[in-house]
Structure 1
């Protein structure tokens, strides 16, 4: 009996060490998707001719600021997971407040990008009716997606003393931001393919990966995974519902 107990006790640290590896890998996947979506317009724009919409004449300073902050957020996600994996939880916690500041900066940096989207595409030569046709639903999607992100990150901060709950909230909040990057990556690598369904499918697969990990580790979905997924479903659903309402589209038309 003693040998069995000792063996179980020895396995516990190994399990705890294995858990952050999963979140570290998922964080790296998210960063790779961000790069895949934005390499021609941001990361490698000095080497890759950007689309007309992102030529220097139409690439505003707000886009640069947002790009750097977004990159910083996903880089921090990887660093924080790596710190936990290395057992340096104290430094991980010290960087927590910086993460909250970065999350706030990310949300703030999105606002001018959202507000300038329709004016920018019309300046680039796209007819206003066409720009409104796809720009207005995207505007509402961004609004509610940000609300969901803020809710999940804020909740993660409140639950920072519960490591398992906290890291799932943070990771799924980050996964919820993937639609724009995957949308652009689909347009680049799969021209002509339905970019929005592909984007949503990738988000579903990333969320499903967290569920699979929970079942492998806990034999059930973690409470944090369930709540986070519910928030994503609700905010995405409201975003698409509002984005399809004529009154909401007219509101965007009047705003811009």
Structure 2
């Protein structure tokens, strides 16, 4: 968790990213869950079951809060960001719901089986490991983590290996709870890989959030307005080009496909397929001098080159 989230918080402190205040609340609650889980494991290992059970009552309430905040963070982001139909946020929703479903399943099942110590501890371990997916997805140096979807699942599944070793060393077999938990995890992972970038999935959630979001009112730019925005923008480290083809504006990055732009005013544009908004700033002479890029958490500006 530290390896995954520490760079994000460093970017936050440096001003590179912005996070809604509830994101910090969610982070604090998730950290508390890890601390309580570790405490409970140590208490049980040392045989202090009396205090373990007392703390377990608080853990029940905390687990419910964890599950609720996972849901709030997921759907608040979806509604507030209002992504376009083709945006990848609808695919990321797959992973968020997978965590929400599995944490809820393993936690509630684990609390139900609290009198069966062998199942109880395995189920709460599985619930805790599921929360690690968000951290794994942020560990940028892991090989293949951003090249395909399945490696990020393989890294999470690797955390199950010690559980299998533990089962074999202590029971001389793999506990049925370990098998069932792994089966549920893998089945959902396979389903996500198969459904990734599904147009039907995108359409369903796009239509579902439409009543709760501000609808984009698009305007048509005339030739003069459009031509003012055409040009190259960036600096020595980053570059983009706005060009015009067949009366349409496009954004082009080096070695990337071009993206069609829409407009909500003569200075406010948006990429049609991803959640990227652009605000063009004009000088006293009416010419564009820079563009402010807004990609939800990342907001930065670049000057016009030519």
Shorter-chain TM-score: what band?
Answer: 0.7 to 0.9
- Report the Cα distance in structure 2 between the residues aligned to 1:168 and 1:179, rounded to whole angstroms: 18
SS of equivalent to 1:184: coil
Task: Quote the residue 1:30 is aligned against.
Answer: none
Q: Does 1:39 find its partner at 2:39?
A: no
Classify 1:149/1:35 alpha carbon distance in 2 versus 1 (closer, same or farther; 3 Å): same
Residues 6-62 of structure 1: CA deviation (Å, up to 9, x unaligned): xxxxxxxxxxxxxxxxxxxxxxxxxxxx111111334x5675x36x4x32xxx1111
Contact 2:110 / 2:121 at 8 angstroms: preserved in 1?
yes
Contact residue 3 and residue 135 of structure 2 kept, 8 A: yes
Distance 1:137 1:193 in 2: 14
**What are the equivalent positions in structure 2 for 1:102-113 lying under 5 Å apart?**
102-113=62-73
Counterpart-to-counterpart distance in 2, 1:191 and 1:211 = 25
* 1:237 Cα offset (Å): 3.1
Matches within 5 A, 1:147-162: 147-162=101-116
**Alignment match, 2:96:** 142
1:21 maps to which residue?
none
> 8 Å contact 2:88–2:197 — kept in the other structure?
no
User: How many pairs does the alignment contain?
Assistant: 209
> Normalised by the size of structure 1, how large is the TM-score?
0.72
In structure 2, relative to structure 1, the CA distance for the partners of 1:45 and 1:242 (3 Å cut) is same
| Richer in helix (by share) | 1
Considering Cα pairs closer than 8 Å and 6+ residues apart, tell me whether 1 or 2 has the greater RCO.
1
- 1:140, distance to aligned residue in structure 2 (A): 2.3
Deviations 1:169-211 (A, max 9, x none): 11012112222111101x2676985374442122111112211
Deviation at 1:239, TM superposition (A): 3.7
CA offsets per residue over residues 209-254 of structure 1, 9 Å max, x none?
A: 2112211222210112112112212333334444443211112223
Distance change in 2, residues 1:198/1:234 (3 Å):
closer
Quick one: structure 1 residues 100 and 163, their matched pair in 2 at CA, closer, same or farther if it must change by over 3 Å?
A: same
Report if aligned partners of 1:156, 1:169 keep a CA contact under 8 Å in 2: yes
Q: Which runs of 4+ in 1 moved over 6 A?
A: 189-192
The answer on whether the counterparts of 1:243 and 1:249 sit within 8 Å (CA) in structure 2 is no
Equivalent in the alignment of 1:253: 206
Distance 1:65 1:202, change over 3 A: same
CA drift of 1:87 comes to: 1.4
Aligned CA-pair RMSD: 2.5
Q: Secondary structure at the match of 2:160?
A: helix
Q: CA deviation at 1:75?
A: 0.9
Instruction: Say whether residues 1:77 and 2:30 are aligned partners.
Output: no
| Equivalent residue for 1:101, pick from 61, 67, 80 | 61
Q: Cα offset for 1:112?
A: 2.8
Work out whether 1:224 is the aligned partner of 2:177: yes
The one of 154, 163, 166 aligned to 2:117: 163
Structure ID, larger Rg: 2
Cα-to-partner distance string for 1:123-152 (whole Å, 9 max, x where unaligned): xxxxx55x9532111112211321121111
Q: Residues 214, 232 of structure 1: CA spacing in aligned structure 2 closer, same or farther, 3 A cutoff?
A: same
Asked if 1:180 corresponds to 2:141, the answer is: no
Q: Normalization by structure 2: what TM-score?
A: 0.61
**Contact 1:144/1:235 (<8 A) preserved:** yes
